[in-house]
Amino acid sequence: MRALREARCFLAIGFHYAAEVPTAMNALEKRSVSALASVYAMRMLGLFMVLPVFMLLGKDLQGATPALLGLAIGAYGLSQALLQIPFGMLSDRVGRKRMIYIGLILFAIGSLLAASTDSIYVVIAGRVLQGSGAIASVLMALLSDLTREEERTKAMATVGMSIGLSFSVSLVLGPLIGSHFGLSGIFYATGALSLVALVIVHRVVPTPHQQRASADTQPAREMLGRVLSEGRLLRLDFGIFSLHLVLTSLFLVFPTVLEDKLGLASSSHWWFYLTVMVTSFFAMIPFIIIGEKKRQMKAILCGAIALLTAAAGALSNLRHSLLFAWIVLFFFFMAFNLLEASLPSLISKEAPAASKGTAMGVYSTSQFLGAFIGGSLGGMMLESIGVSGVVGLMVAVLLIWLLVALTMPTPGYTTSFMVQLQQAVSGRFDDVDASLRELPGVRDVVIVEEASTAYLKIDRQEFDEGRLAELAFVRQGNSL
């Protein structure tokens, strides 16, 4: 989920850096970024289209119970969580595009398996197989291979916005396709999208001449302990876990309430979701800007969690008014979109130097685990207690997250900055480290000796990039 994101995983980064990176992508980079963004979007679109209709259409499957339907919704999250980092590391050995081919083929097979059955158990197996094509980290690694460091942030923002758009579109297309072709039609469409993505990777995405390990995009085993011991990051990981647990739980109850309690036919759900998603997206943008520009991210974060908690609690009182249901969902997704956009930016700021890729890998794993737990545990609560049980689960998790957020330190306002070093500095890395730490605005330095690269954490309000030109060990024209 993600979704979202891996759901809008880099949206806030796009806002934050749009005015800071004046360079332009070359033709190869534009082609690579647009192609990979479309692959990302089609994969997410396929995963998300089933969300707004599965509880309505899946109840006709053989053996279906609320608990099993919930498990089917969240099942992909378990295999995604388990395989996300291994897929990325395997791509270092066997090649990026080969692992992407394997992932998309697994995704297509899982989609076709779920489409060709009327058994809930086979659908669950298909969803697990869909999730086993865990190629998000591989796509980001390939993006790293095909773009220059100074264009990386814009590339990530483009991919992130395509994911956000795909989620919004999925809430419209899912009910439309489902009303005409049923649940199997959605899964067949999902399989077709994965095959189209396969063709794009093969025919449009260039094959890199060499694979380059990037601490900004790829997890590394040696960084894992440092990331898992950092309390600030763990709080954010719990945040994305909670956010996607709540999102998955929402779709266990909301579509049924719309149809059974409020009388809105499933074929008309698309316009309800469309108006909510468009308005809530634009409503959250000013808060992103205020949080970044005024350095009020903790206040914005806590306020959004509180709003999400209130909206989740209001889900138990939607029986009489479609307008009230629209307002509740509007505030839910305004808060959700804001948090989905803010959390990756905070991970980027809080990750130790040279550990962003590992931090994002743990973050993504937490996100998918949240989707799995939200579906499976939420489904059990729905079966044993009813809608109030699912709403109680959502509110309880959000209240814990709010407490965690209120007690966390104010986030830092640093960002990653990479500096290429002259080959001649070999053996003098301690002096290089000390010189870089003396620059105003530099908060942390990690030097990767074999790559002649220094990763800095900097405060852009204090850092003067021009000072790097005064350092003899810096390779000019190659810093980010």
Residue 223 neighbours by CB under 8 Å, 6+ apart: 215, 352, 354, 355, 357, 358
Res. 151 pLDDT band, cuts 50 70 90: confident
Please give the structure tokens belonging to residue 1: 């989920």
At 15 the pLDDT is 38
| pLDDT tens-place string over residues 252-279 | 999 999 998 898 998 899 999 999 999 9
What's the chain's length in residues?
A: 480
- Look at the domain 11-407 and name its fold: Growth Hormone; Chain: A; (1.20.1250)
Res. 240 pLDDT band, cuts 50 70 90: very high
Please give the structure tokens belonging to residue 54: 């599965």
Question: What mean pLDDT, rounded, does the chain reach?
Answer: 84
- Look at the domain 415-470 and name its fold: Alpha-Beta Plaits (3.30.70)
pTM summary value = 0.83
Residue with tokens 């605005």: 441
Q: Which range is least confidently modeled, 214-218, 262-266, 272-276, 371-375?
A: 214-218
Position 173, amino acid: L
| pLDDT tens-place string over residues 458-469 | 877 788 787 887
At 149 the pLDDT is 64
Position 341, amino acid: A
195 has a pLDDT exceeding 70:
yes
The helix/strand/coil state of 176 is helix
Residue 459 neighbours by CB under 8 Å, 6+ apart: 412, 413, 414, 441, 443
At 384 the pLDDT is 96
Instruction: In the chain, list all ranges with CATH 3.30.70.100.
Output: 415-470
At 250 the pLDDT is 96
Question: What's the rounded Cα separation, in Å, for the pair 18 and 479?
Answer: 17
At 213 the pLDDT is 56
Res. 477 pLDDT band, cuts 50 70 90: low
Instruction: In the chain, list all ranges with CATH 1.20.1250.20.
Output: 11-407
Question: What's the rounded Cα separation, in Å, for the pair 50 and 194?
Answer: 15
| pLDDT tens-place string over residues 90-130 | 887 888 899 999 999 999 999 999 999 999 999 999 999 99
Mean pLDDT throughout 286-301?
83
Calculate helix-pair angle for 231-256, 297-314, nearest 10 degrees.
Answer: 30
At 93 the pLDDT is 81
Question: What's the rounded Cα separation, in Å, for the pair 305 and 310?
Answer: 9
Closest CA to 249 of 176, 293, 307, 308: 308
Question: What's the rounded Cα separation, in Å, for the pair 246 and 395?
Answer: 8
